[in-house]
């Protein structure tokens, strides 16, 4: 976490329960943590495109919700890191729980009839989200949020490993890439927290462009945003395979992965 003594800016004193390692208002007076803010674009723009594509393709609404939920997380994180206000922190952290619940629902409903609804699982996830929300608003303890989020991510990992091991082994590349990218982001998140003092001292001694590369919380956003996006592709690929579509992963401009598919034609 950030040491004491950061400057104040447009949004006034920090009220959030967390203040990350990036120096506050170092780039502009209007954004508390500039790099931690703009790095959220990867969680905002690509999922919007994914949601639009899903609507055009007539996909089930839960996949549209997955993309939009990731966008909401990115927007909430943008507001949090821009202001370092407690209310904006909640807009970041609580949607992380809600979006993961949507991901869990999608992963456990991959092998069901089209447009089916599992009301028991839906009720369980909604109840879980409500309980986490009420407890977190009461205790205001970030570790509680991190543990609850970790439980959901662990559930997704176990389910994904099951699918690529026993159901669709040829999806290991996509599944493990999603997991590996996310875990690399988690590693950078820990480095940013544990070695914050050393990182700040290092930035004072090197050119700014090198210092930017050590903004590891921003890298957490980039890598977990990409990992989450790839997870949605993995979940969608699994689902459309089961529904006997022909999904393919393509790269826009040779860089960004998207999923394209068409239903099998009736003979």
Annotated binding site for Ca(2+): 19-20, 22, 24, 33
Binding site residue list for Zn(2+): 81, 217, 221
Element of type H or E holding 19: none
**Vertex 142: Cα angle to 136 and 146 (nearest 5):** 95
What is the rounded distance in angstroms from the CA atom of residue 265 to the CA atom of residue 267?
Answer: 6
Whether the CB-CB separation of 111 and 242 falls below 8 Å is answered with yes
Could you tell me the two tokens for 227?
């990992």
Whether the CB-CB separation of 182 and 227 falls below 8 Å is answered with yes
**Sign, CA torsion 216/217/223/226:** negative
What is the rounded distance in angstroms from the CA atom of residue 151 to the CA atom of residue 21?
Answer: 25
Residue 43, Cα to own-chain centre: how many angstroms? 7
What is the rounded distance in angstroms from the CA atom of residue 192 to the CA atom of residue 25?
Answer: 18
Element of type H or E holding 138: helix 119-139
What is the rounded distance in angstroms from the CA atom of residue 227 to the CA atom of residue 42?
Answer: 11
Binding site residue list: 19-20, 22, 24, 33, 81, 217, 221
Whether the CB-CB separation of 35 and 212 falls below 8 Å is answered with yes
| Beta carbons within 8 Å of 224's beta carbon, 6+ residues apart | 181, 182, 185, 186
Could you tell me the two tokens for 237?
């690929």
């Amino acid at each position: 976490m950030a040491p004491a003594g950061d400057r104040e800016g447009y949004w006034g004193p920090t009220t959030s329960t967390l203040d990350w390692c990036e120096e506050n208002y170092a780039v502009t007076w209007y954004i508390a943590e500039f790099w931690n803010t703009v790095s959220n674009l990867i969680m905002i723009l690509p999922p919007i495109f994914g949601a639009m594509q899903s609507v055009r393709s007539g996909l089930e609404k839960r996949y549209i919700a997955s993309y939009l939920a990731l966008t909401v997380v990115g927007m909430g994180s943008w507001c949090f890191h821009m202001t370092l206000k407690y209310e904006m922190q909640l807009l970041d952290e609580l949607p992380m729980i809600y979006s993961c619940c949507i991901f869990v629902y999608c992963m456990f409903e991959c092998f069901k009839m089209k447009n089916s609804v599992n009301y028991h699982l839906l009720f369980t996830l909604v109840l879980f989200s409500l309980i986490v929300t009420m407890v977190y608003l009461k205790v205001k303890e970030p570790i509680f949020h991190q543990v609850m989020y970790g439980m959901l991510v662990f559930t997704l990992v176990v389910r994904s490993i099951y699918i690529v091991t026993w159901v669709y082994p040829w999806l290991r590349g996509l599944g493990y890439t999603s997991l590996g990218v996310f875990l690399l982001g988690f590693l950078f998140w820990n480095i940013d927290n544990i070695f914050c003092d050393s990182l700040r001292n290092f930035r004072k001694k090197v050119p700014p462009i090198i210092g930017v590369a050590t903004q590891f919380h921003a890298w957490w956003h980039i890598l977990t945003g990409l990992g989450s996006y790839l997870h949605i592709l993995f979940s969608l690929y699994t689902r459309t395979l089961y529904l006997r579509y022909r999904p393919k992963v393509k790269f826009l401009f040779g860089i960004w992965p998207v999923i394209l598919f068409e239903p099998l034609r009736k003979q």
